[in-house]
Amino acid sequence: MNFPPILECKNLGKRYEAPVFDRFNLSLPCGKIIGLLGPNGSGKTTLIKLAAGLLTADSGEILIGGIRPCEKSKGIVSYLPERNSLPEWMNTEELIAFFCEFFSDFDASRAQEMIRDLQINPKARIKTLSKGTKEKVQLIMVMSRNARLYLLDEPIGGVDPATRDYILRTIIKNYQPTSTILLSTHLIADVEPVLDDFLFLKNGKIVRSGNVKEFCTVQECTLDEAFRREFRC
């Protein structure tokens, strides 16, 4: 069965002082884990925030499951911001209850299982947790929703390599085959094994994209090597 694209940009324009996107076009299919990869300032966070409905386009449009970002689209999008945004005064038990109330697609038992696996004290207030642990908790919350589109902005940047593996396995384990994950990261070698597709973004333009395995077979290199080659300073 063919599903319509989960995320589409049509002649999208967005600028701050200078343009970030100018007549940008993109179509992301359902059922893929897609790496959004590019150097600093290429527009990754801006694109993710536009899709999450936190920024509005200046021109053109961005569509989530065929509709413009709104309350309804936010109901099918699970967004992990680049910075921690958890309520610091809560503990993770309270956080899970809060998410249950807020998101009808939130799976509390999945969140509890991950909190247990990562040996996070459910009674400890968020503000007392280390930076890396806060990141883990935030990612657990985001991945415990049954969303259609997950937007993960640098999900593993602050966590140690061993936990990265757990988190990536967790992403795969909990991921529904009809959902799409758009994941931005600099840690390409770490995420490469879990990605289906990739997008190389440079100055607000897709300069290369495709299926990771096919691309790497043809190019006879890893995605990490291809990235370094593409964006060599």
Helix (H, G, I), strand (E, B) or coil at 27: strand
Give the DSSP H or E segment for 62: strand 59-64
Q: What does the angle CA 74 – CA 132 – CA 48 come to, to the nearest 5 degrees?
A: 30
Instruction: Classify the phi-psi angles of 210: left when phi > 0, otherwise alpha if psi is within -120 to 50, otherwise beta.
Output: left
Residue number, 38 or 143, with CB nearest to ligand ADP = 38
Give which of 30, 25, 28, 33 is closest to 2, Cα–Cα: 30
Smallest distance, ligand ADP to C-beta of residue 184, A: 7
Residue number, 170 or 184, with CB nearest to ligand ADP = 184
Smallest distance, ligand ADP to C-beta of residue 82, A: 7
Query: How many angstroms separate the CA atoms of 57 and 218, rounded?
Result: 36
Q: What values do phi and psi take at 45, rounded to 5?
A: -65, -40
Q: Is 203 in contact with 42 (CB distance < 8 Å)?
A: yes
Residue number, 38 or 155, with CB nearest to ligand ADP = 38
Residue number, 38 or 69, with CB nearest to ligand ADP = 38
Smallest distance, ligand ADP to C-beta of residue 22, A: 12
Smallest distance, ligand ADP to C-beta of residue 49, A: 8
Q: How far is CA 128 from the centre of its chain?
A: 25
Chain residues binding ligand ADP by CB under 6 A are: 16-17, 20, 38, 40-46
Residue number, 42 or 163, with CB nearest to ligand ADP = 42
Smallest distance, ligand ADP to C-beta of residue 12, A: 13
